[in-house]
Structure 1
Amino acid sequence: MVDKVESEILDIVEASKRSPLFSQFIKDLSVPRETRVKAVKEVFAEAGFSDTTKNFLAVLADNGRLRHVERISKRFVELAMAHKGEVKVIVTTVIPLPAEEEKELKQTLQEILGQGKTVIIEQKIDPSILGGLVVEFGQKVFDMSIKTRAKQMENFLREPINFGSLK
């Protein structure tokens, strides 16, 4: 059920990105509450959405919160992943990781996170890091990029040397 609701909510977000008219409708608070709720129920019933999703969207429409569906969907996806024991890991590199390296990284992260967790890797490409990689998950960031190492070296070299401490 969680997967179905997640999929349906993500479909709504995509629809609002593709359709300016739909996007305007969900953000427009000038539409009377009853009209908004009725339209939401009818449109999503016709689309074959589950009762859970339809009722949730009706509550959002009734409370004038439908315009926040994109932000709500992001949080829902995070909670659904946590419920399923999945951990999203963002790996930033200069070029895409070769399949073998991605597999090794995934295994290492699985060991760090422990049993019962499934690592989902999302690769980002950022040439500005110059090399190495940046791994982010949860509130943790492991920055092993050349850009960061060079910045650390620059900061070290800019520090004044205390020759008195060398005696």
Structure 2
Amino acid sequence: MQRYMNSFILNSLRNMCSQAKSTKPPLSIFGIEGRYVNALYSAALQMKQIEQVEKHLQALQKELVKPKVVDFVETSMISSADKAKLLKEVAEKSGMPPAAINFLEVVAENGRLKMLRKMITLFSAVMVAHRNEALCEVITAKPLDDSTRKTLMEALKKFVKGGKNITLTEKVDSSIIGGMIVGVEDKHIDMSIARKVQMYTEILKQSV
């Protein structure tokens, strides 16, 4: 069954990769969603549409949470073939590149639209690896000044391995009082004053 599924998906996506050899994604993605994402990455890269595909899928991801779109995805009253046709028409009108259009059409035809949001999330993760990026997020009580940002970036470069390019997202949350909370890939470092207050409060409660 597993072998049949792999063959079925690859055959369904043959138009996306028919003129070039398969290109392995820089990040291993498994499962049914992974097979679609791997095929899309390979096709988009070979067709030189990788950035366009990413941009349009990110925009689509925002639409997929809207009630009307959710109803369209989940309804069984519209056949997979009709869903594929409608999606293709909408995608073409929105200016999506052929690799993305073919991908959406195949996903719909195979009745996998309920997995589409996860597929797009996985594709975004593959693109992060493709650009050799390290996603970092910093939360501070006040916006960072240039000097603090420079110091933080220098520290992050030493912390992140593999010479990855750091993509920093800054957020402001006055509730942390001061200090900062830093997220680096899968690591989380809470250096906020709010966290220290909480920690000392717990210590005082234990000593009473």
Give the structure-2-normalised TM-score: 0.67
Structure 2 residue 84 is the aligned partner of structure 1 residue 84: no
Structure 1 unaligned segments of length 5 or more: list them. 162-167
Question: Would the aligned equivalents of 1:87 and 1:119 in 2 still touch at CA under 8 Å?
Answer: yes
* Matched position secondary structure for 1:53: helix
Q: CA deviation at 1:155?
A: 1.9
The structure where strand makes up a greater share of residues is 1
Larger CA Rg, structure 1 vs 2? 1
Question: Would the aligned equivalents of 1:90 and 1:136 in 2 still touch at CA under 8 Å?
Answer: yes
Residue identity in the other structure for 2:197: A
Structure 2 residue 206 is the aligned partner of structure 1 residue 159: yes
1:1-55, CA deviations, whole angstroms, 9 ceiling, x for partnerless residues? 32221111012224446x7655543443421111011112222233332222112
Residue identity in the other structure for 2:192: S
Instruction: Supply the distance in 1 between the matched residues of 2:50 and 2:158 (Cα, whole angstroms).
Output: 27
How many residues are treated as equivalent by the alignment? Answer: 160
Instruction: Supply the distance in 2 between the matched residues of 1:106 and 1:68 (Cα, whole angstroms).
Output: 36
* Matched position secondary structure for 1:30: coil
Counterpart among 22, 41, 62 of residue 109 in structure 2: 62
Of the structure 1 ranges 25-34 and 50-59, higher mean CA displacement relative to structure 2 is found in 25-34
Instruction: Supply the distance in 1 between the matched residues of 2:68 and 2:203 (Cα, whole angstroms).
Output: 55
Distance 1:61 1:151, change over 3 A: same
Residue identity in the other structure for 1:81: V
Give the structure-1-normalised TM-score: 0.82
Q: CA deviation at 1:62?
A: 1.9
Instruction: Supply the distance in 2 between the matched residues of 1:88 and 1:29 (Cα, whole angstroms).
Output: 38
Counterpart among 142, 160, 168 of residue 121 in structure 1: 168
Structure 2 residue 100 is the aligned partner of structure 1 residue 53: yes
Residue identity in the other structure for 2:120: S
Structure 2 unaligned segments of length 5 or more: list them. 1-48
Aligned counterpart, 2:20: none
- Percent of paired sites with the same residue: 28
Instruction: Supply the distance in 1 between the matched residues of 2:116 and 2:90 (Cα, whole angstroms).
Output: 16
* Matched position secondary structure for 2:122: helix
Instruction: Supply the distance in 2 between the matched residues of 1:124 and 1:29 (Cα, whole angstroms).
Output: 41
